[in-house]
Structure 1
């Protein structure tokens, strides 16, 4: 926890301000000493001078109680500078604590695959599997997918970003896969997966993940943009960790976040079957889009 909060940039920033604060106090110590010398108030050393000057605030002491106007001004200026610096240091420390970088890892590729979970097996989805390197769980997590594509309206090419899908999960420990059904996308995405239409290939997908983390419920927001060419049809990615039974105990292996980018491919036959299913879904989507356009024209 301490290692997460006090990372390198924060430590450097604190050290800079500590040196500045020490420097300011040394400068004012010399000023106090010079004022004392000018008023025949000589102490044995500068540290004693600083002590008497600051603690008495308006006089050097030594039983005469005579106010020194220059000391009033120096102490007031010293107090003003100190009162400005300390809130700045405190603010920077809290800023780094509450806004430290989020350790959410995105994969290099989005995966089109058949879901294997109970109740939704064999459903084709576009998925993104993320890793959580935070020391604690992140919670109230939302994953928003925005699909941008281009439409050719004769001489004019326009960009469309109306496809906006959202999935929520109560918490994420070390990894989670967000999956979006292919049937919820417009036909342009499936055309990009099944043919070489250059316009459809120019689309992009933004994955935005936001939620809360840590004991204070700090909000976080992180996103990554993918090109359509970053989408792979595959069976899965390698597990980040697994379990072994050793002496009647379940032992979890060390987490390997590099496995997010190690793709498990279909066999050639499986790949061909998946592409055939994608084309079937494409026909259904095209019919749905055609029916919607027809209804709009009738209105």
Structure 2
């Protein structure tokens, strides 16, 4: 089983407007609310693919109750750790005229020591084939919280900043920063060199999201660049989570890296076409799977 962990769960609220104008008053065409946080989104994608997946997340207050109810409606197998604080909300504003996406993330409630311990114990009891740790650590969580969770497991780590650097001590199988997150934690502009820094610090492989240019993977087995057959427009907020879902699925099946990357790029595009983070256009995914180009490249070009 693949298990996703979301310490900083959210209720995602998505507004679609005609266009987003600074200082303007906007009337939403559509409003959608669903349980979110990056690990929850990853679990949704895996569930849509028919994978054996479970989600571990936090929930508190009335917003946490809404998260729990929505997860039940969605049919996701979820274990929720009750916390005293109110679960955060994230707000996405999608402009219909140009496809631009504006995202506002609340910081999340403070986790107490016992609440973090309860979350960690849930993870240890599951003994997953692949563990996915995604998103920000909430206030109150230990900075090396992800390292604690992933030590001794086959894990995919998708976070940024200090949480990413501290998480490397747990020796994750894969970390998945985007290009800006990678530059931020290493100070290097060359993504291959920067990925090498993360690997020396503990990551066994680094997969870098390059936006519309695809994915760069730096691994023990080689360096690959995977590119989509076409550039898509839509809601990009769940594209990275779809990549993480593909990485976890590939690791659980022990697939070779080129196959993992083809699925990751195809799923990422399918997520851009989905209306909400965690949704994927399965028809596009199956079409694109055979069209993604994967080429080996030297570590220095």
TM over 0.5: no
Task: Give the TM-score, by structure 1 length.
Answer: 0.20
**Bigger relative contact order, structure 1 or 2 (CA pairs below 8 A, ≥6 apart):** 2
Task: Give the TM-score, by structure 2 length.
Answer: 0.20
Higher strand content, 1 or 2: 1
Query: Which structure: larger Rg?
Result: 1
